Amino acid sequence: MKIKNAKAFKILNSNSNFTVQVNITSDAGVFKGSSPAGESVSAFEVTPFKEGLDQEISAFNDFLKKIENRQLSGLDDIYALEKEIPKEFVGGPSLSLSYAMVYALSHELNKEPYSLFGSKNTVLPISKMLGGGMHASNLGMDIQEILAVTLGDDIKESVDGTLSVYKQLKELLKNSTYSFVGGVDPEGGFVTGLDNYESLKMVKKAIEKVVEKTGKDIRLGIDMAASTFFKDGVYVYKRPIYGKKEVSSGEQIDLIKKLIDEFDLYFIEDPVDESLLEDYGKILSLTDNLVVGDDATATVTERLEKAKGKINAALIKPNQVGLLYKVKEFSDKADKMGIIKVASHRSEETRTTLLSDLAVGLGAKYLKVGINRGERVDKINRLLEICQV
Ligand code: 2PG
Ligand code: MG
């Protein structure tokens, strides 16, 4: 297919901040791409936008004029074009363009977008139950996310199990926390006044109730996003978990060990500061479950290489690198290293569902995505669509 015209413009993301959409016009129609952003970001990821979004979009539109009449016949053409994108646009603008190109190409080839990247793999959603940290404006628990995942090989059953936990949790919160009025964070996790420990206990209880009723294999996870409260070499808890407010690096590892033992944590994301890969390794030696790099690895292949032997799972967030060929490189490297891949939403999303296609095609085992809020549900629904059609 030939790109007749490409145009970038401003839209709002799910958190009512501006982001970029790119529309590509070909003889077959108009194809759209848009990019998310994060509230809590890694030091190793690219910034979605540089200074002044309007100026950047206008400069990006000048670049887009140069790709008019470009022929795209396969993913390699998209990857080649990505390598020509000037550095200053790598982030939100580049990813929006790439997503639009993928949709245009998949239409041209009459193939589902996921199949451009690989075969149909089963991907299970791992979803936010409770939100804290920066996602709750630092007013609630320190742990950024308490998550649940229903294991198995059937995505419908998995969604059903995790949704039941979410609904059960709402009932428990309604009946026990007078200040809870049903509010959710940007990723659909409930926001409550409970502290870290009470929150974990509440989600554990909700999981136990659903497991009792359904017999499903449902697990608890956390994204500690520990870098967000690591200050001058100390983890500073507003709501101490095991009694201490200021926790040293060594004590943080003991604290995580206690949490793993007490809550049987299956998924442990960024339990320590993003720069302390050795500490990730110490936690990995304590468990057979998933020690997950997000801020530590930031979808950057060199970071993944450095994390060898320190983590056994990593998030894939395309906008952390802004270019799909880099996402593919990271994914291939993870496969070589035996790292479990978890595609992931960002706190500030758009309605595009290409992330779900990428998760399926790249063979991620999980898709970290909320189970409430339209822009998250769209992504789960795309998984359900892929596996049922
Ligand atoms: C994370 C993400 C998604 P954010 O830390 O894993 O849950 O949050 O997009 O704010 O970085
Ligand atoms: Mg994270």
Residue by residue, DSSP assigns 284-300 as: HTT-SSEEEESTTTTT-
Interacting residues of 379 by C-beta distance below 8 A, sequence separation 6+: 345, 353, 355, 356, 367, 369
Domain count, the chain: 2
In a domain, 24, yes or no: yes
- For residue 187, the ligand 1 atom closest to its alpha carbon is 7
Residues 161 and 22 in one domain: no
In a domain, 164, yes or no: yes
In a domain, 224, yes or no: yes
Supply the pLDDT for residue 179.
86
In a domain, 119, yes or no: no
Host domain of residue 164: 124-388
- Check the CA dihedral 89-92-96-102 and report its sign: positive
State if residue 38 touches ligand 1 by the CB under 6 angstroms criterion.
Answer: yes
State if residue 14 touches ligand 1 by the CB under 6 angstroms criterion.
Answer: no
Q: Is residue 352 within 8 Å of 95, Cβ to Cβ?
A: no
Residues 349 and 263 in one domain: yes
Residues 186 and 270 in one domain: yes
In a domain, 185, yes or no: yes
Residues 226 and 325 in one domain: yes
- Check the CA dihedral 237-238-242-245 and report its sign: positive
Residues 247 and 355 in one domain: yes
Residues 20 and 48 in one domain: yes
Torsion-angle region of residue 253: left (phi > 0), alpha (psi -120 to 50) or beta?
Answer: alpha
State if residue 294 touches ligand 1 by the CB under 6 angstroms criterion.
Answer: yes
- For residue 42, the ligand 1 atom closest to its alpha carbon is 11
Residue 17 to residue 90: CA distance in whole angstroms = 19
- For residue 294, the ligand 1 atom closest to its alpha carbon is 6
- For residue 186, the ligand 1 atom closest to its alpha carbon is 10
Residue where one domain finishes, among candidates 86, 111, 136: 111
Supply the pLDDT for residue 178.
83
Give pLDDT < 70 ranges for the chain: none
Residues 176 and 295 in one domain: yes
Strand order in the sheet with 246-247: 230-231, 234-236, 246-247
Residue where one domain finishes, among candidates 111, 134, 164: 111
Residues 177 and 302 in one domain: yes
Residue percentage of the chain with pLDDT more than 70:
100
State if residue 346 touches ligand 1 by the CB under 6 angstroms criterion.
Answer: yes
Residue 259 to residue 267: CA distance in whole angstroms = 12
Gap from CA of 346 to ligand 1 centroid (Å): 5
Can you give the pTM of this predicted structure?
0.98
Supply the pLDDT for residue 177.
85
Residue nearest atom 2 of ligand 1, based on CA coordinates: 346
Residue where one domain finishes, among candidates 111, 139, 155: 111
Residues 313 and 382 in one domain: yes
Residues 262 and 341 in one domain: yes
| CATH code (residue 96) | 3.30.390.10
Supply the pLDDT for residue 289.
98
State if residue 127 touches ligand 1 by the CB under 6 angstroms criterion.
Answer: no
Residues 342 and 241 in one domain: yes
Residues 31 and 107 in one domain: yes
